[in-house]
Amino acid sequence: MGIEKVRIVPGYTATTPLDFVYYPYTHSLIGSIGWASLAFVLYRVYQRYRGSPKPALILAAAVLSHWFLDLIVHVRDLDIVNDRLKVGFGLWNHPTIELILELIILFAGLLCYLIGNAGLSRGRKLVIAGFGIALALVQLLDAFGPSPPSVTAIGITGLGFYGLLAAAAFWVVPRPAGPQTEPGA
């Protein structure tokens, strides 16, 4: 749509050929705070403001964590606010360390989820573990696969893939029957 800009520059970093030129809405700290706030509000509206705001806070923290996790791997192209003061630790220039760290974060998150949901059936736990393995395979494909053919292809396949990923996560993770409230809430 031309709102944000990325270029494909072979060799830009050791891990990715993507040069993120301008993307203050999806990858600035202020933009991420905005998206996290929106996630919080939408979840609270979905829950009809019943029960504890804790799940909405957890969701907002997960949305905001994207910026901080990107900070570790991106080169100095992450905005604090609207294309000013760019930051990044540059782990994309150290592909082995970056890949190991990405997989550790993925499986640590998966393990935390499984421990926090110990009441899940063995079958459900296996399905969720399989989902984690599929995500690891996608990460490996991203690390060792071919460069994208075009910026348009990145946008189309990215949106399509994230839609499929969200649908798969919705299918994999068990959901309560309806909006939950805490006792006495």
| pLDDT digit string, tens, across residues 147-156 | 889 998 988 9
What pLDDT is attached to residue 55? Answer: 92
What pLDDT is attached to residue 185? Answer: 47
Q: 184 pLDDT band (50/70/90 cuts)?
A: very low
Q: How far apart are CA 25 and CA 38, in angstroms?
A: 13
β-bridge partners, 18: 8
β-bridge partners, 8: 18
Kindly provide the residue ranges of all beta strands, DSSP E only, lying in the chain, ordered along the sequence.
5-8, 18-22, 78-81, 84-87
Interval 114-133 mean pLDDT:
89
Q: Which residues contact 26 (CB under 8 A, 6 or more apart)?
A: 4, 35
Cα angle 57, 20, 60; round to 5: 5
| pLDDT digit string, tens, across residues 7-41 | 999 999 999 999 999 998 889 999 999 999 999 99
Interval 99-106 mean pLDDT:
94
Interval 94-109 mean pLDDT:
94
Per-residue pLDDT at 112 exceeds 60: yes
Q: Which of 65-69, 86-90, 159-163, 167-171 has the lowest mean pLDDT?
A: 167-171
What pLDDT is attached to residue 118? Answer: 87
What pLDDT is attached to residue 141? Answer: 87
State if pTM tops 0.85.
Answer: no
